[in-house]
């Protein structure tokens, strides 16, 4: 800093470069700060079901498009409905390139912040289930949802006596049990009831059977789901094909007083 006199008055002279730096420095810093939005505001996530237990989002992203940077306020389990190549970007971490498979089940824990860029020429589709009460004691069963844990898959999967379907447990917390159900060709499976809450997400075409023998049933497509509340009738899913069909079951098992988390507003 320098001083000089003119007409008997003293002036302070500051370096022009320093003034410019002080004025302009905050602008690029703020410009580089990414905006994180809640999952509920992410435009590719379409809310298809909301109740006090779950949010169910249907997600579809075109090739070469991106899911915006967002935060997961709740533990969420996503079920892939397509094969996709993506790049996952999380602030402060290296980008991760992933190949995701149709039918893959993934955990996105509460607090997780990320965006996803879709590579290749295949649209990205999934069903994301947010669990709106606090999850505790998460553990892998037959699917690796937690990277730092090994698998705890039962060595032998028990089949029902009539052998209409096969159940393979995927993941479990103290509050939720996630199972892959494979319905055998030309068989039916009854799900729900028994005084519990259950969400069923379809991975393959099926029919929702009716009580009438002459009825063809309600056709269901991959990504369709059914919420079965306590006191509601169980659902019967029928496989009319010559191949197995797959369902993902969320059996909710809150015990005692359950701590819920407020749903964020858009």
3-class secondary structure for the chain? CEEEEECCEEEEECCHHHHHHHHHCHHHHHHHCCCCEEHHHCCCEEEEEECCCEEEEEEEECCCCEEEEEECCCCEEEEECCCEEEEEECCCCCCEEEEECCCCEEEECCCCEEEEEEECCCCEEEEEEEECECCCCCEECCCCCCCCCCCCCCCCCCCCCCCCEEEEEEEECCCEEEEEEEECCCCEEEECCCCCEEEEEECCCEEECCCCCCCCCEEECCCCEEEECCCCCCEEEECCCCCCEEEEEEEECCCCCCCECCCCCC
CATH code for the domain of 194: 2.60.120.10
> Structural domain of residue 235, as residue ranges?
139-146+159-252
CA distance 195 to 3: 85
The answer to whether residue 261 is domain-embedded is no
pLDDT confidence of residue 264 = 45
CA distance 142 to 233: 29
The answer to whether residue 193 is domain-embedded is yes
pLDDT confidence of residue 2 = 54
Q: Is residue 28 located within the same domain as residue 52?
A: no
Pair 208, 247: CB distance under 8 Å: no
Q: Is residue 176 located within the same domain as residue 227?
A: yes
The answer to whether residue 258 is domain-embedded is no
Give per-residue burial for 230-239: e unless 16+ CB within 10 Å, then b: eeeeebbbbb
The answer to whether residue 17 is domain-embedded is yes
Indicate the number of domains in the chain.
3
pTM of the predicted model as reported, rounded to 2 decimal places: 0.82
Chunked in runs of 10, what are the mean pLDDT values of the chain (266 residues)? Answer: 53 48 50 83 98 97 97 98 97 96 97 95 96 96 96 74 87 97 96 89 91 68 96 93 98 61 44
Q: Is residue 41 located within the same domain as residue 23?
A: no
Alpha-carbon Rg for the chain in angstroms: 26
Q: Is residue 229 located within the same domain as residue 170?
A: yes
The answer to whether residue 257 is domain-embedded is no
Q: Is residue 57 located within the same domain as residue 20?
A: no
pLDDT confidence of residue 154 = 86
Q: Is residue 205 located within the same domain as residue 175?
A: yes
The answer to whether residue 244 is domain-embedded is yes
């Amino acid at each position: 800093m320098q001083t000089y006199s003119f007409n008997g008055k003293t002036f302070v002279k500051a370096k022009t470069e320093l003034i410019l730096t002080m004025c302009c420095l905050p602008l690029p810093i703020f410009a580089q700060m990414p905006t994180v939005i809640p999952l509920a505001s992410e435009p590719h996530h379409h809310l298809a079901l909301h109740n006090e237990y779950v949010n169910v989002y249907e997600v579809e992203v075109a090739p070469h498009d991106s899911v915006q940077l967002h935060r997961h306020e709740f533990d969420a389990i996503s079920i892939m409905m397509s094969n996709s190549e993506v790049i996952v970007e999380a602030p402060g971490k290296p980008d991760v390139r992933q190949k995701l498979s149709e039918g893959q089940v993934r955990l996105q824990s509460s607090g997780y912040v990320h965006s996803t860029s879709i590579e290749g020429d295949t649209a990205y589709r999934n069903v994301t289930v947010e669990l709106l009460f606090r999850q505790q004691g998460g553990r892998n069963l037959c699917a690796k949802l937690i990277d730092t844990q090994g698998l705890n898959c039962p060595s032998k999967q028990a089949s029902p006596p009539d052998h209409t379907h096969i159940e393979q447990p995927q993941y479990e917390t103290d509050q939720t049990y996630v199972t892959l159900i494979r319905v055998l060709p030309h068989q039916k499976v009854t799900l729900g009831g028994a005084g519990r809450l259950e969400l069923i997400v379809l991975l393959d075409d099926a029919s929702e059977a009716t009580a009438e023998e002459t009825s063809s049933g309600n056709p269901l497509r991959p990504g369709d789901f059914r919420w079965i509340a306590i006191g509601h009738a169980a659902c019967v899913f029928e496989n009319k094909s010559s191949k197995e069909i797959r369902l993902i079951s969320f059996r909710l098992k809150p015990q005692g007083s359950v701590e819920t988390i407020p749903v964020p507003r858009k």
